[in-house]
Chain A
Amino acid sequence: MDTSLAADPGPEIPPARWSGVDPMMPRPFTVKRVRKELADTFTLELEPADGGGPIRFQPGQFNMLYAYGVGEVPISISSDPDDPSVVAHTTRFVGSVTEALVHTRIGSLIGVRGPFGTHWPVEIAQGEDVAFIAGGIGLAPLRPAIYRVLSERQKYGNVVIFYGARTPEDLLFRKELQSWRSRFDINVHVTVDRATGRWNGRVGFVTQLIRGGGFDRHSSVAFICGPELMMRYSIQKLQEHGLGNDRIFISMERNMKCAVGFCGHCQLGSQFVCKDGPVYRFDNIEDYFSIWEL
């Protein structure tokens, strides 16, 4: 049975575009809200401070956030693509720039370039089952895609979210996960790597959730975001489940500088992750995927 999504397996994801302004010039944005999500993770909600229009983005795209005087980092947009009045970025602080961003206050200015990159093509999954597989902070870049699917819920078959985190304390967007779980039209499965007896949910690796299925092996599309190892083994599980590589989409991270395909910092084989990615259909990237240090 041919279960491929399209007869021509060419690129399914439209190339990235930015809206007229110089893509190398950061626009000033005001921090509207800073929300602490986890011990090391926070969300910044931003609005334009230059009188210009809001950022219109697609799920999975990223912005370059510039902490003035410190540096610039690529961060995925984590808010609802259908509500451009707010553009949110959920960030884990790991180093100098993300550390500077966590110390911004309401009213502070930060520079924003973007949106950049390819997006989660949820539109091609209409009429099919959808599986979102997230690990750790990877739920943040997937959240806009989840919002988009839920806003047009009737256009999709079964929708299932598999989410794995380190501990119960590291579950991102916990309230939202609970509210999605309480809906009757979406299945949410959560697992953690370690927990104490106070946790009544599952303990195990995220791939162990996939075994439970909840999506059709021949007519599903999967969107995966998380650490590369987690994505690698999730892909294997999906393949065992019968899903073709052209039905699996992943998001790649590489160090970036220009974000527009000039500098080569983000090169992965023949691909520039900033403009050809970060979201890839797996069959278009599989040759590079497990080759380290490319």
Chain B
Amino acid sequence: MVKVEGLETLMEEHPFFEGFNQEALDLLAGCATNAKFDAGTVFIREGDKADMFYLIRHGTVAQEIRVPGRDPLVVETLSEGDLLGWSWIVPPYRWTFDCRAVELVRALGMDAACLRAKCEQDHSLGYLFYQHMVPIIARRLWAVRMRLLDIYAPAPKPKL
């Protein structure tokens, strides 16, 4: 991962930061890096320390669970405009999935310890951050519930 110029611009362009004021963006830019993962790379491993999270700018990421003796199960895929990972705000700050780049992925990586510290110091920044995170978490949870309903399955036969 390399630090490059123009991270503020990339942040402004990402839908997650819509509604963040300039001051907040400047503060957060200090925690951001540019990240790139080649297709096929597993860049997050379940159980590892969640010291980063990502805002996907391009490409698709599969969140997977390894199952011994079987192909991994894809829990969800995320793509351009999505936020990847919230294990960094939930103790014990460990990843709960593997993450694999399905194709070349470009993302903004956010340093979790740096962010937690900034949110701790500046509660209005922390509030803004959580305000943006919570609806995303809620939407994802809803989508997972929808999939649990298995709505494309045939209607059960009535019991006679």
Contact = CB atoms under 8 A, between A and B. Distances in A.
A166 B74 contact: no
A196 B147 contact: no
Contacts of A196: 70-74
A32 interface: no
A148 B64 CA distance: 39
Contacts of A137: 152
A191 B78 CA distance: 11
B150 interface: yes
A203 interface: yes
B76 interface: yes
A194 B73 contact: yes
A199 B150 contact: no
Range for the number of chain B residues in contact with chain A: 20 to 34
A194 B150 CA distance: 10
A211 B64 CA distance: 22
A233 B74 contact: no
B60 A202 contact: yes
A193 interface: yes
B152 A135 contact: yes
Given A202-B79, A203-B76, A166 B71 contact: no
Contact of B74 (A95, A203, A230): A203
A203 B62 contact: yes
B154 interface: yes
Contacts of A201: 77
A197 B74 contact: yes
Most chain A CB neighbours (cut-off 10 Å) among B72, B77, B103: B77
A135 B154 contact: no
B151 interface: yes
B153 interface: yes
Contacts of B152: 135-137, 164-166, 170, 193, 226-227, 230
24 contacts: A94-B154, A94-B155, A135-B151, A166-B153, A170-B152, A193-B150, A194-B74, A196-B71, A196-B72, A196-B73, A197-B62, A197-B73, A197-B74, A200-B62, A200-B102, A201-B77, A202-B77, A203-B74, A203-B75, A203-B76, A204-B77, A229-B149, A230-B151, A233-B146
Interface of B: 60, 62, 64, 70-77, 79, 81, 100, 102-103, 143, 146-147, 149-155, 157
Given A197-B62, A203-B75, 6 more contacts: A164-B152, A203-B77, A205-B146, A207-B143, A230-B151, A233-B146
Which 4 A-B pairs have CB atoms at the shortest separation, nearest pair first? A136-B152, A196-B71, A197-B72, A193-B147
